[in-house]
């Protein structure tokens, strides 16, 4: 929708994991989960907790460690699938709907919007340039990486916020990024 259709307000922006992650991640995670169910099924079928590793040379200590790894993965993979499928952040003219059921943060609760250039102390290539939204004691409530959302829409929403509450933009790089003077489109 255009600004005119929203009564002059910027259109809401929905941030989700990349499409390829949403389409490829859950089936791969489900296949991995099924892979880790097979030793459990074998142990139950054989009525012997050592059956999956018998003859491998791991011994009792290796089997215990292996069962620990299997247990952790069997518990962790289903919530990971849920996160990949349901993760979303919504930025609109009135505030942000934070991911992971953290609730809504109206613009009055937002304390800072900051621009973070690409990089970081470790593995700089996988830390893309992004906007981050902070809200008081809640801390970081939204992170919008450049490649994962409607970038122009994100800048429009955040620039709208900055016109309504100029105090949330505390540094020059963020002001320039919102004005589209320091970064490309």
Q: Kindly state whether residues 93 and 174 are assigned to the same domain.
A: yes
**64 lies in some domain:** yes
- The pTM of this model reads 0.73
Q: Kindly state whether residues 109 and 124 are assigned to the same domain.
A: yes
* Residue 8, C-beta contacts closer than 8 angstroms, at least 6 positions apart: none
**166 lies in some domain:** yes
Say whether 5 sits in a helix, a strand or coil: coil
In the prediction, which pLDDT does 1 show? 42
Q: Kindly state whether residues 58 and 131 are assigned to the same domain.
A: no
| Residue 73 structural domain | 19-86
The mean pLDDT value of the chain amounts to 86
Asked if residue 30 has pLDDT above 90, the reply is yes
Asked if residue 103 has pLDDT above 70, the reply is yes
Q: Kindly state whether residues 111 and 174 are assigned to the same domain.
A: yes
Q: Kindly state whether residues 114 and 160 are assigned to the same domain.
A: yes
- Residue where a domain terminates, one of 52, 86, 120: 86
Say whether 20 sits in a helix, a strand or coil: helix
pLDDT digits (tens, 9 = 90+) for 104-162: 999 999 999 998 887 665 555 566 788 999 998 888 999 888 877 688 888 999 999 99
On whether the CB atoms of residues 158 and 131 are closer than 8 A, the answer is: yes
On whether the CB atoms of residues 51 and 67 are closer than 8 A, the answer is: no
Q: Could you give the CA distance from residue 55 to residue 177 in angstroms, rounded to a whole number?
A: 61
Q: Could you give the CA distance from residue 95 to residue 161 in angstroms, rounded to a whole number?
A: 8
* Residue 144, C-beta contacts closer than 8 angstroms, at least 6 positions apart: 13, 15, 89, 91, 130, 131, 132, 133, 154
Q: By percentage, how much of the chain surpasses pLDDT 90?
A: 49
Q: Kindly state whether residues 32 and 94 are assigned to the same domain.
A: no
Q: Kindly state whether residues 97 and 153 are assigned to the same domain.
A: yes
**6 lies in some domain:** no
């Amino acid at each position: 929708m255009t600004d005119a259709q929203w009564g002059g307000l910027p259109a809401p922006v929905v941030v989700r994991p990349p499409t390829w992650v949403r389409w490829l991640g859950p089936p791969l995670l489900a296949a991995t989960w099924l892979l880790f169910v097979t030793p459990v099924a074998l142990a139950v079928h054989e009525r012997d907790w050592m059956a999956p590793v018998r003859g491998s040379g791991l011994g009792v200590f290796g089997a215990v460690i292996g069962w620990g790894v299997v247990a952790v993965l069997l518990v962790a993979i289903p919530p990971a699938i849920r996160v990949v499928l349901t993760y979303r952040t919504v930025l609109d003219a009135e505030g942000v709907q934070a991911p992971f059921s953290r609730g809504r943060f109206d613009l009055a609760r937002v304390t800072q919007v900051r621009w973070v250039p690409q990089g970081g102390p470790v593995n700089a290539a996988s830390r893309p340039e992004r906007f981050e939204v902070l809200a008081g004691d809640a801390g970081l409530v939204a992170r919008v990486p450049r490649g994962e959302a409607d970038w122009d829409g994100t800048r429009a929403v955040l620039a709208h916020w900055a016109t309504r509450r100029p105090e949330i933009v505390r540094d020059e790089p963020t002001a320039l990024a919102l004005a589209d003077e320091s970064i490309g489109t």
